[in-house]
Amino acid sequence: MDIPRLHPDTIEEVKQRAEIVDVISEHVVLRKSGKDYLGLCPFHDEKTPSFSV
């Protein structure tokens, strides 16, 4: 069974409308670090933030 794919225009529209930091911060606590945001990686246990947005 094939997974349905989104049209590239739809993907681009979502990217233009959504702030990635807002989306990710719904699941990961992010802290401003210079021009980036850092948080604990959601894919493995860690004590020092390595997840960069």
The answer to whether residue 11 is domain-embedded is no
- Under the banding of pLDDT at 50, 70 and 90, the label for residue 41 is very high
The answer to whether residue 10 is domain-embedded is no
> Domain count of the chain?
1
The answer to whether residue 22 is domain-embedded is yes
Nearest to 24 by CA among 7, 3, 40: 40
Cα–chain-centroid distance for residue 19?
A: 9
Q: What is the pLDDT of residue 4?
A: 80
- The mean pLDDT value for 21-46 works out to 95
Query: C-alpha distances in angstroms, 24 versus 3, 18, 49?
Result: 24, 11, 14
- The mean pLDDT value for 25-40 works out to 96
The answer to whether residue 13 is domain-embedded is no
15-31 residues labelled b (16+ CB within 10 A) or e (exposed): eeeeeeeeebeeebebe
The answer to whether residue 6 is domain-embedded is no
Domain residue limits at 40: 18-52
The answer to whether residue 34 is domain-embedded is yes
Q: What percent of the chain has pLDDT over 70?
A: 98
